[in-house]
Structures are given as C-alpha cells and as structure tokens.
Chains A and B, each alone.
Chain A
Amino acid sequence: MSQAAASGHATADVYESPLTPESWSKLAMWIFLAGDAMSFGGLLAAYGALRYSMPSCTDPIQLPCWPMPSNVLGIALTGFMTFLLICSSVTMVKALAAIQDGQPKRMCMFLGFTILGGIIFLGLQAYEWSHLIHEGLALSHNPWGTSQFGTTFFMTTGFHGCHVFGGVCYLTTVLIKGLRGGFSATNYNGVETAGLYWHFVDLIWILVFTFIYLV
C-alpha cells in the first residue's frame, strides 16, 4: 500500500506539466486556444483577401464592390459592445485576483458581472443582426454591394458570438462551483483556465471589430 502510494505520488510529480506547472488544464486550454485562433485567423484572412479583391462601393454603386462598413454597420453600437467586452475582461481578472487573495464571495460577484457582460453583449449582437437582416442583409445578397459582404459578416461575427455563448455557459458552471465553495486561495486553477478562454474571446473581438467594422 505504502509502496503503491509512493509510486503514485512519484508518478504525479513526473507528469507535472513542464510549461504550466500549476495545472495541465491550463496548458490544454492554451493549446485549444492556439487551434481556435487558427479558425478565426482563417476567417479573417479570407475576409481580408475578399475585401482586397474588389473596390469599395462608391455612389452610384458599380458591382461587384465592397460596401463601406461605416456606411452600413452600426459602429457606435459595436464600439459600445467592444467596451463591454473589455469591461468583462477586467471583471474576470478581478475575479481571479479575488480568489487568489482568498475572497470567494468577491470572486463570485465579479464572475457574475462577467457573465452579465457576456449576456448583454449577446443581446446587443442579436439586436444588431435583426436590425441588419430587416434592412436586407443576408448570407446570399444585400442591397449595398457584393453578396460576400453578408457572408463574411455573418460567418465571422456569428462564430465569435457562438464563442461568447460558450463562454457564458462555461463561466456559469465556474460560478456555480464557486458558490458551492469549490475554489479557494490554494485551488483556483479552474477560474484561471476559464479566464483564459474569456480573455481570448475578448482578444478576438478586438480584431473582428477592427477588420469587419472599422477598416
């Protein structure tokens, strides 16, 4: 028994993650995020290539042309959505800092704010989409220019929105575990790993906002 226990303990030490000694889950999350970044990179690279392949729309419209995002999309609204995600990233790091300092209640409060930020973001995105669809933007056509504008817009922002939804669900499970006393100053890896995912969602939105809405 003692030999087996000693052997088990030695095995745990041998298999400690070399890059993230605190947990394997953190390394796994980083590897997942690297792969996920490639997915977004593919979408943004395709967007850039399509955008570069045709001129911007002028008046009168000469097809094929790419509609100017600032003339079609609501920049003020998405600017606010960007601000919201940045704020939610701050509340996420505050949640991690709180549990590292041994304050689980404070962590739960900040996690709640983070989830709320994600839900409001999703609500605003639904509002934006419904407004644009009402104006005629669709996957296959739109009244302003090339059909690829709508395709790339919905694909990229939709894929990101799915990530935000996944993040809200993920953080909710972390919050429930936190409320049940599952985290402490010496056991916070779950919060840190969830935080990595949420910050990645924020980071990707920063790039999506610039490429899709501003450029």
Chain B
Amino acid sequence: MDESQRRKEHYEDEHVTTLHPNYMGVFWWLLALTILELICGSLPTGPMYPYFAKVFLLISMAVGKAALVALYFMHLRFETRTLGLIAITPMILCAFFLFMLFPDSGWR
C-alpha cells in the first residue's frame, strides 16, 4: 500500500489534520545562524581572532544550517536510515577529497 493510500485512509478513518514539523522554528534558526555567519565573516582577524578560528566557526555554522535544511525541510529525520546513508555518503567523500588535496596544496 502506498503512502498516499495510507494517508487517504487516515483522513477517512480519523478525520485528523496532518502534523508538520515546526518549519518556522527551523527558519528562525537558519536566519540566526546566517546573521551570526555574516558577523563572524566581517570581523577582522588577529591575535584574538585567528584566521583558523574564523574558518572553523564559519564552516561549523554552514554545516549546521545544511543539516537543518536536510533534516527538517528535506524530511531526512523522518526517513529510513538507509536513505540517510545515501544522503550523507557524498558529504563524507567530499570531505575525504578535500583532506586528500590539502597536503599537496600546502607543499606548493
């Protein structure tokens, strides 16, 4: 039985409305993280705010935002674990490529 059929029966049997994730809550988090990113990106680097700390903060916030979009907007949190593995595999491979390229870049 497909999901549409299940939902139809759910409607007919129980007369309830669908529960949705808190999309606006996710939106506010994304907005707050974007503003924080802009602040972190615009602050001048120096001894108190080294460049690697800036890069680490920015990438952490970007990954957090991407995770929010994937988990709630793309509903990955409510899907099967195998689908999650399909989704995360490219990210792992990309991180692998990046770290494999770094030594070569550093020696130039």
Contacts and interface: CB of A to CB of B under 8 A. Distances in A.
A37 B23 contact: no
Q: Which A-B residue pairs are the 9 nearest by beta carbons?
A: A41-B94, A22-B3, A214-B41, A210-B62, A49-B101, A37-B90, A53-B105, A186-B8, A52-B105
Contacts of B102: 48-49, 52
Interface residues of A, number: 60
Contacts of B17: 101
A79 B73 CA distance: 20
A42 B90 CA distance: 10
A38 B94 contact: yes
A86 B30 contact: yes
Contacts of B42: 70, 75
Interface SS of chain B: helix, strand, loop or mixed?
A: helix
Contacts of B97: 41-42, 45
A31 B86 contact: yes
Interface stretch (A87-95, A115-123, A124-132, A134-142): A87-95
Interface of B: 2-5, 7-8, 11, 17-18, 20, 23-24, 26-27, 30-31, 34, 37-38, 40-42, 54-55, 58-59, 61-62, 65-66, 69-70, 73-74, 79-80, 82-83, 86-87, 89-91, 93-94, 97-98, 101-102, 104-106, 108
A17 to B, nearest CB: 9
B74 A45 contact: no
B80 A38 contact: no
Given A83-B34, A186-B11, A202 B73 contact: yes
A53 B108 contact: yes
A32 to B, nearest CB: 11
Given A38-B94, A90-B73, A185-B8, 18 more contacts: A16-B2, A19-B79, A20-B80, A33-B87, A49-B104, A50-B105, A52-B106, A53-B105, A53-B106, A75-B38, A75-B41, A79-B38, A83-B34, A186-B5, A189-B4, A203-B69, A203-B70, A214-B40
Contacts of A45: 94, 97-98, 101
